[in-house]
Amino acid sequence: MNVAAEQVLAFRLAGQDLATPAADASAALRGWTVQDSPPGTAVAAVLARTEDGAIDAGWLDRALFEDRTLVALYNARTATAVLPAGEAATYATAMLPGDDDAGLKAIAGPALPDISEGFAEPVALGVAAISDALDGATLSRDDLHEALRQRLPGALLPWCKGCETHHARRGLLVLAGLHGRLCLAGRVGRQPAFARTDQWTGWDAPDRATAGIELVRRYLTAYGPSTHQHFQQWSGLGTAHAKALWTSAAGEVSEVAVGGAPAWALTRDLPRLQDPPPAPGVRLLAPGDPLLVGRDREALVPDPALRKQLFAVLAGPGLVLVDGRPAALWRARKQGKRLTVAVAPLGPAADRPDPRALQAAAERLAPHRGVSSVTVETS
């Protein structure tokens, strides 16, 4: 089966609820692709994937910290994944490496700069300390680090220039999260607060094989056709770990050709790939949106110069989709109760977003940014 780049993009839009909106916010999160890095990304992603009125201001915090129907935890890329509470254990278990050094190093290596091998023992010690510190407690970031300074040896508490202190780094928090021993549980001032996920919402983890296959399924639903290399880059897992997960789903995938290169899609999804649905309307995708964190960026933006703009290392813009195609870049600037959305079209005037549709899409941001008015400026 040969597929064109346009089909691939349309397929992914459909798989990520950008063709037909999700029924509700929870449905938009069931792809396991939404993150809240940078903060605000999760709300913007759900807005782009649901109809007007599906979520209101403060919805995400209520779902995470009051109703506890969602869970936020650090994933293997150290981004904040936002997941349905009942599915978080499956997602995390799939990402959990075994005791091999390569898999552990891929996640914990930056957190343990003085260790080059033998990661299993220090990682187990770190996870146990985090589990003990959070047992029956919700702690601010600083309080958690203070508790860990009392429980961990110096080798696991490297010096941080920014904080000017010794503390455990995020890689250990990631691994505690993948074990069900750490999730975000609110804020204390401007700091995140943490709790044990098994005590916060419960933790019913399946076996690793079941979890791994499900992670590949969700990935290919959103990012297929794809390769194990792109899956590894998207997930942040070690190469061997990602390849093993990919191979575990071999019985459920089919090879296709994208621009002459081999890629794989779920066999059950081939009809949708052959004839993907249209994606009408205007969508504002914020930096960090699931569509933008796919690793084969050429499928979304063929032009190298545009890719450099869109995927800037620092403070990159968002993307405006019009009828399923990239049409403009956008940035938002808040001043008091006013939000200005600056839009830079990518093509000629005839291809520019309809001003009324663009204004309507921008105004959906207002209650979530705490503003009363939104102005769209098109260059």
Dump pLDDT digits (tens) for 64-85: 999 999 999 999 999 999 999 9
Query: Is 335 contained in some domain?
Result: yes
Phi-psi sector, 323: left (phi>0), alpha (psi -120 to 50), beta: left
Distance CA 115, CA 368 (A): 43
Q: Which residues of 174-186 are buried (b: 16+ CB within 10 A; e: fewer)?
A: bbbbbbbbbbbbe
Q: For the chain, how far is it from start to end, CA to CA, in angstroms? A: 41
- pLDDT value at residue 120: 94
Q: Which residues of 320-353 are buried (b: 16+ CB within 10 A; e: fewer)?
A: bbbebbbbbbbbbeeeeeebbbbbebbeeeeebb
pLDDT at residue 301 above 90? no
pLDDT at residue 237 above 70? yes
Query: Is 62 contained in some domain?
Result: no
> Which two tokens mark 105?
């190093």
Total domains in the chain come to 1
Distance CA 220, CA 20 (A): 18
pLDDT band at 49 (very low <50, low <70, confident <90, very high): very high
The mean pLDDT of the chain is 94
Query: Is 364 contained in some domain?
Result: yes
Query: Is 339 contained in some domain?
Result: yes
High-pLDDT (> 70) share of the chain, %? 99
Distances (CA, A) of 45 to 194, 312, 358: 24, 19, 16
Distance CA 44, CA 102 (A): 35
Q: Contact at 8 Å (CB) between 26 and 69?
A: yes
Q: Which domain holds residue 353?
A: 301-378
pTM for the model: 0.95
Where are the extended beta strands (E) located within the chain? Answer: 2-3, 70-74, 80-84, 139-140, 159-160, 165-166, 183-188, 191-195, 253-258, 261-266, 282-285, 318-322, 325-335, 338-345, 373-378
Query: Is 330 contained in some domain?
Result: yes
> Which two tokens mark 223?
């990012």
pLDDT at residue 350 above 70? no
Query: Is 98 contained in some domain?
Result: no
- pLDDT value at residue 228: 97
Radius of gyration of the chain (CA): 21
Query: Is 317 contained in some domain?
Result: yes
Query: Is 309 contained in some domain?
Result: yes
Q: Contact at 8 Å (CB) between 60 and 44?
A: no
Instruction: Render 303-371 in DSSP notation, one character per residue.
Output: -HHHHHHHT-SSS--EEEEETTEEEEEEEEEEETTEEEEEEEESS-GGGSPPHHHHHHHHHTTHHHHT-
Q: Contact at 8 Å (CB) between 168 and 119?
A: no
pLDDT at residue 88 above 80? yes
